[in-house]
Amino acid sequence: MQFARLSLVAHHGLNRLAAREHAWLERLNGVRLPDWEVGLLRLASRLGDGLFWYALMLTLLAWHGWEAIPAVLHMIVAGLAGTLIYTWLKGATERPRPYQACPTICCLTAPLDRFSFPSGHTLHAVVFSLVATAHFPALGWLVWPFTALVAASRLVLGLHYVSDVLVGALLGGAIAALMLAL
């Protein structure tokens, strides 16, 4: 009963916040970007599905051997924790995606799941970037610009609200900090 009440309160609050974010997203979504920029953001979104991070983990193992195992294990555990948390939150809040709630917002790529809050792509990008750079600081030049592209892609492609992306980043930071502290 308590969970149902929490879910209803969260759902109502997120929908009120979404209404405030619609105008901003409509303006952002209505800006005609060059095809190459939309293509770059679609690519970042697609690679952010996991491909970039799996390739990074395999590259770390190939390049650093046994030395990379703690980093890769940290990334795997943090990624699984992130998946559990964002899956639960999406189911608890059931926040529709911007293009579903506002017909003037175009969806420029297919989403992986049904609900919007929080951005799992952003959550995982922040988690993996923080863990990877904690173990291998020299990776910062690669992972942080990619993380920024992933976060931006979620907005420009019409898949998430700003609050989805911000909460995804905050959750990702908290999960990474907890995993690194353990």
> 114 or 58: which carries more pLDDT confidence?
58
Provide, rounded to the nearest whole percent, the portion of the chain with pLDDT above 90. Answer: 57
- For residue 35, what pLDDT band results from cuts at 50, 70 and 90? confident
Give yes or no for a cis peptide into 137 (omega within 30° of 0). no
The three-state (H, E, C) secondary structure of the chain, written as one string: CHHHHHHHHHHHHHHHHHHHHHHHHHHHHHCCCCHHHHHHHHHHHHHHHHHHHHHHHHHHHHHHHHHHHHHHHHHHHHHHHHHHHHHHHHHHHCCCCHHHHCCCCCCCCCCCCCCCCCCHHHHHHHHHHHHHHHHCHHHHHHHHHHHHHHHHHHHHCCCCCHHHHHHHHHHHHHHHHHHHHC
Place of tokens 């555990």: 77
The model carries a pTM of: 0.83
Q: Per-residue pLDDT tens for 97-114? A: 888 888 777 777 778 888
To the nearest whole number, what is the mean pLDDT of the chain?
85
Go through the domains of the chain in sequence order and give each one's CATH number.
2-181 (1.10.606.20)
Residue 1's pLDDT is: 47
Residue 109's pLDDT is: 78
